[in-house]
Structure 1
C-alpha cells in the first residue's frame, strides 16, 4: 500500500475496465492509498452489490458520484449527449429523473457532490473530432482549422443561450426535487473535452449567477480545460482561477497536447505548467484524480507527492 492520500479521492475510471467485481475494483484503488473514491458513470448496479457493504462498514468513503449513475446503457443519456438540454420534453424529463436518481445514491453514500455533464450544442457530425484531426495534422493556425473553427463557434454562439436556458430549467427542477427530499448534495457542472459541449467557464458562471442559492456549482476538470484552451475555446487558467469560489470539485489530470487523463508533472515532464492550477485544487471542497488506465501506481504516487509538496510550499510562502 502506498502513502495515505488524505482528503484526495480517486475515480474508478482508472480501473473499471479491468474489473467485474466492484469490491476488487475498490480494493485496488485502496492499495494506492486512497480512502475516498469517485464512482464514475460506468459503475453498474451489479458492481454496487459488493461496493455498498464496504461503504456501510466505513471501509471506503465516497466523495462524489458521476451522473448518470449507476450505468445507463442508453446513449441518449450517456456522457456525450444533449442530456439536460433536450428540446424533446419526454427526453428532458427522463434526463432529470436520472440526475435525481444519481443524487439519491450520492445522498445515501454520504457523497458531497454529483458530477454532471449538462449538455451540448447539437451538431450533425462530430465536428470536435474533425477539428482535432486538423489540429494534429496541420496545426491550430492552419487555414483549414481556422475556417472550420469559425463555423463551429458561429453555431455554438448562436445556440448556446437557448441550450443554457434549457439546462438551467432542468437543474432548477432537479434542485427542487432533491431539496424537497432533504438531500444535502451539491451538483457540479463539468467543463468538457469537446468544443461543442457545455459549459464553457463563462457559461458555468452564468448558470451559477442565475441560480443563486441553489446547490449548483462548477466542477472544474483541469485537463479538459487545458484541451479547450489549446483548441481556442477559452482562457483556461485565467478564467478558472477567477472562478475559484464557484468550484465544488476538481478532476485532477494533465493533458499532453489533446490527450487527457495523464498524471500531472510526471507524463508531461513539465515541472511548472501545472502549478497554475494548484490554488484551485487547494481550495476545492472535493479533489478527485481522474486518470487513465495507462497511469501506473508508481507514477500516480510520484505525481501526488509532487502536487502536495508544491501546495505545502505555497502555504509556507
Structure 2
C-alpha cells in the first residue's frame, strides 16, 4: 500500500497516582537506605496506586489530557494502541477497558507487550497506520501498575526499589507540514537472553500455572540480572540512536532534546556520555517517578514540554531498552 500521509504527535498527557513512596518509606519495609537507592539508581521517590486506582484509570486520565491538548474529543479517536506489561487482568487487554472509560465503541484496540520499549513500538505501529491513510487519530498509551506485583521485602529489594506506577499517552495524527512530524522509528528484539529480566509465574507454560511451591520460591515476582541488563542497555540504546541519526542524515547537534526510557539514571547518564550528548539536552525524571516501564517516555516527554525544554518544531529523540530483550528509538519534530 502506498504511503499517503506522514504522522505527528498532536497532543500528550500523563497521570500518576497521588501516593508518593519515598526511599525512606521503603527503608521501613526492607533493609535498604535512601543513599543506597540513589547511588545505584538515581531514584528518590516513586508513585504507587491506592485502592481504586488501576492501569485503566491512569490510562484514561492521561488519554483525556492528550485528546484535549490535541484539540479533539474522544469520538475523534479511531484506534487505541496500549502498551503494558501489567494489564489489569489476564484477558481481555486493558485497551478495551480504556475504550469503555472514554465512552467509545467499535474502534479497534491493540494491546502490545514490549515492556520498557512498548511506547516506542506503539508509536511505530501508529506511524505506519497513519502513513497508509487507514486511520486519522490514534491514541498511543503506555500504562503500568507495578506496585501490586512487587516483592516488598529485603529479598526483593533490588527490583522493588526501581518501579513506579503511571500512565502517559499521545494522540498521533496526520502531519500537515514538515515542521511537526514523526521522522522515523526503529524497533528491535532479541530473545536469546529473555530470562535475564522476567516474571516466570503464573504462566500457561506451567502446569498448573501457579503453585504453592513456586510462590514459596518467590517465582511470581520479577527478577533481573542487573549487570547483564545494564551492559545490554548501554550497548543497544546508543546503537538505536545512531540508527535514527543515519536514517535521517542528522548530526548529534541537531537533536534538541533526548527522552530516554527511565530505567536507571546511571544507564542514561552513561548513554549520554558515550555519544557525547551534553547533559542539558537529555531530560530525566526517574528521580520522582521511578521506572514506569511503557509509561516512562510519555511521562518524561510531557514533563519536558511543561518545563519548556521541548518547544514546537524541536527535534526530539526517544530511546528505550527493556525486557525481551527489546530496544528502539523514534525521531520526531514536535
| Structure of higher RCO (CA pairs closer than 8 Å, 6+ residues apart) | 2
Structure richer in strand, relative to its length? 2
TM-score, normalised by the number of residues in structure 2: 0.30
Structure richer in helix, relative to its length? 1
